[in-house]
Amino acid sequence: MRDLRKAPATLLLLMINVTAFAGLWIDIGTLEGPEWVRGLLLQGAQFAPLSLDTQWYRLFTHMFMHGGVVHLIMNMYALFIVGTEVENLTGTGKFLLIYFVTGLCASIASLYFSLFMIGVGASGAIFGLFGFSLAIQVKENYTEP
């Protein structure tokens, strides 16, 4: 818990994701089959025909939705690991900027590569944090020959 006190935005994102998942589960009434997928679509999952039309907010809302319990747990574990590191390194404001910019870029890329797929998850933003962390580590460890 010590790391999370130094990373309030990471903690907030973890709580929002878990709360959103629980709320969706209660609202939809199941985690199974087509009812779950339909419910996610109705609640703001990314779907190119809707996202590219008038529902651009789906580029962000899908980042707080997950396809199942395992998907949620794996993403939240990854967010905890890399989020605390990046937020401690950059500060809360820059961390949130990196998170949402990389998440938006991943959303746009997803639209291009999966035109008729329903997309949910924070993976794009989390991979963006991993990429940022890798770039910082390479920069800090780079030495001129």
The pLDDT of residue 86 is above 60: yes
What share of the chain in percent tops pLDDT 70? Answer: 95
The pLDDT of residue 4 is above 70: no
- 17, 2 in Cβ contact below 8 A? no
Report helix, strand or coil for 63: helix
| HSE (side-chain half, CA atoms, 13 Å) at 61 | 16
How large is the average pLDDT for residues 3-13? Answer: 86
The pLDDT of residue 3 is above 70: no
- Higher-confidence residue of 144 and 66: namely 66
